[in-house]
Amino acid sequence: MAVTGRIDGIPSEVWHEEVLAPQFAHEAEHLLGHYLAIEKVLLLEYTRMGLVDATGAAALGARLDTLTPDAVRADPEQNMSDISFAIERHVQSGPTPPFAAWHVDRSRNDLQVCAQLMAARESLAAVATDLTAFGRAVTALAARYTDTPMPGHTHGQAAQITSPGFHLAALAVETTTALRRMQHTYDESDACPLGCGTMAGQELPWDRARMAGLLGFARAQPHALVAVASRTWTTTIAGDLAGYAVVLSRFTTDLMTWGGSGFGFLDLPDELTGISAAMPQKRNFPVLERIRGRCAHVVGRAADICAGQRNTPYTNTVEVSKETGAHLHVQVDAMRSLLRLAHAVVTGATFRADRMRAACAEDHLGGFTLANRLTLDHGIPWRTAQIVVGRYVRRAVEQGLRPDAPDAGLLRACAAESGHRIDTGAVAELLVEAFDVDHGLRAKQSDGSTHPDRVRDLLAAQDAELAALDEEWRQRADRRTEAARRRDDLLAHPVRRPSRRPS
């Protein structure tokens, strides 16, 4: 049986091999289950509208259940290497021919975008599951190192005393923020396009709200053209993934720096390390390079998805829906892969407290504290206090003075040059306190600071947020599962409800 009367030829060999067959294989692997769900919902609507009786619906439903990736194949002669035509041919070749009105008032446009959107929702939910698990691993590692001093850097220079727990808590915040943003994207795009037809709607009285509910959507897409033309959901999902990949690449850069021989702060287990073929003394961390490289893939795919839609007409086009849309699946695969690797790194990572403490002790990282105390305790104007401390540090470095062996006389002399006097006893105590490593970690008191108590408070809040987000994502998954159960129940007991036909 021909699928069209408009043309007589079949797809050429090159067209089939380069475009149609790969597209067919992609849809058979990733979208066929969604096509099956959609076909069942359409069948329920045909039943509701009185276009098929219970017996005919049961026969067609049984035939649909035999749809598997092995049951359909790209065939230029039989189905023009198109999966929608392949599904039709599979059903039509069954023991019981479908009822005459099957697929009446239908279009491939909304059917295909509906399957694509269903797959995208599930992919986003899967990324959220991985990201939630990663976030929990991050907070667990951070909790082990909230009291462990390490130098924090700005502009490539040691700046203030922080901790691995403080730094990792920032990654935890970025993770929950990304999860919340992804959930917003999911909810914004949770509008079913089925029933919008080619671009202008359909002629039968389809119950689009019912169809949306049976496919696990929150609502129907209210505008027919938006349903089939818009791929904002692809660019938004891609942007969410790319945004987090950029963040994770920056944290990975920090891990690479800390794990390098110049610092030696971070170590990974042997199971995550590599070696040099020529230099037997080396332990390399190529897993970090792989993570950062795959972050680039995620960002690059987002650029592909945006570029593939730019300057295209606002309607259904293969260029947007298939040529460009397939990149979303590739991006999701790259994202899930890098998250698995990052999870393994965070789970296995350890920090060397001795190396980090030594690095804190060898630099004058308490300069900020010292300037504050000169202002608050001794009345030296703040900018002048900054000048005094800067002068003291420069001369201490020139003289080879360590921060843990401060020179009270030198600080008094620096202050005197700016016209201020400081009591000798107070200066010695002030210097010891300002440049003490443990005091430096606890000197900050504000919420969100490096103080171990504040970091623990923040981590507890992030753990609670992760638990709440996990539950909210689970509820969305339950809605999809419940929709599938309802479809099966309704197909087992189809109900014919005569409905208004268009005049």
Reported as half-sphere exposure (CB side, CA atoms, 13 A), residue 171 has a value of 31
Cα 68 to chain centroid distance, Å, stands at 30
Helix or strand or coil: residue 464?
A: helix
Give yes or no for a contact between 350 and 256, defined as CB atoms under 8 angstroms apart.
Answer: no
pLDDT at position 276: 79
pLDDT at position 495: 62
pLDDT at position 502: 47
Token pair belonging to 364: 């004058």
pLDDT at position 3: 76
pLDDT at position 498: 52
Task: Kindly give the parts of the chain with pLDDT less than 70.
Answer: 1, 494-503
| Among 74, 64, 93, CA closest to 18 | 74
- Main-chain dihedrals φ then ψ at residue 425, nearest 5 degrees: -60, -40
| Among 359, 374, 356, 363, CA closest to 431 | 374
3-state DSSP helix/strand/coil % of the chain, to nearest 5:
65, 5, 30
Contacts for 161-166: CB closer than 8 Å, 24+ residues apart: 161/360, 161/365, 161/366, 161/437, 161/440, 161/441, 161/450, 162/441, 162/450, 163/441, 163/450, 163/452, 163/455, 164/265, 164/351, 164/356, 165/452, 165/455, 165/459, 166/142, 166/450, 166/455
- DSSP per position, 324-358: ITHHHHHHHHHHHHHHHHHHHHHHH-EE-HHHHHH
CA–CA separation, 331 and 234 (whole Å): 11
pLDDT at position 503: 43
